[in-house]
Chain A
Amino acid sequence: GAVVSQHPSWVICKSGTSVKIECRSLDFQATTMFWYRQFPKQSLMLMATSNEGSKATYEQGVEKDKFLINHASLTLSTLTVTSAHPEDSSFYICSAPVGGPLAGGPSETQYFGPGTRLLVL
């Protein structure tokens, strides 16, 4: 299957600092990528849809100025958590669709990166 990588896998930072997380599609191009957050024992929560060459689409309740998304190329999307606080500590996961309507195919599969665990002290 398709491979999506994320870097870093672990981040520990002080409150008030900014953290950048990278999501890369390694063997396919992705005009769209998705960013999720998952708190312990909870389901995935879609934060935003990253669109190559245009602005990201944020879900209701997600602060655009706090979670900056850049999709500068067909294989890379970045999520920057600005001025991180302890409540931002979570598991951040990106995914990219392969096939399906978003990529011109009949069916779609979301391939997930391995996730980035963020701990803000």
Chain B
Amino acid sequence: GQNIDQPTEMTATEGAIVQINCTYQTSGFNGLFWYQQHAGEAPTFLSYNVLDGLEEKGRFSSFLSRSKGYSYLLLKELQMKDSASYLCAFMDSNYQLIWGAGTKLIIKP
């Protein structure tokens, strides 16, 4: 079967670093996505990993280990505007996106 899991909620301090984990199980895999969704808005694309390793993009980095079915999103130098839900999703063998429930990130001053 297929499933994907990420923590429901995390809290971090402004200026700090936070890592949001995502684990998944699937027989067919065509990449893993991270999206940011502010309350009341549609998701916006953050990153795509299809090969193992770390992809860095400014303050945000995403890591993938296909053998472990594991990914994380790393946010550095946290800002208040980073308060949002972070959604991970993998693309299965039918090119369908399977979504996690999202991690609500709360940033405190």
What mask results when residues 82 to 101 of chain B are scored 1 for a CB within 8 Å of chain A, else 0?
00000100010001110111
Give the segment of B15-23, B39-47, B65-73 that binds chain A: B39-47
Contact present for A1 and B30 (CB under 8 Å):
no
Interface size on A, as a range, is: 20 to 34
Interface membership of A108, Cβ < 8 A:
yes
Interface membership of B48, Cβ < 8 A:
yes
Contact present for A107 and B31 (CB under 8 Å):
yes
How long is the Cα–Cα vector from A43 to B23 in the complex, in angstroms?
16
Q: How far is the CB of A117 from chain B (nearest CB, A)?
A: 8
Interface membership of A102, Cβ < 8 A:
yes
Task: Tell me which residues across on chain B come within 8 A of A110, comparing CB atoms.
Answer: 33, 45, 97
Binding site for B on A (CB under 8 A): 1, 34, 42-44, 46, 49, 91, 93, 100-102, 107-115, 117
Binding site for A on B (CB under 8 A): 30-31, 33, 35, 40-45, 48, 50, 87, 91, 95-97, 99-102
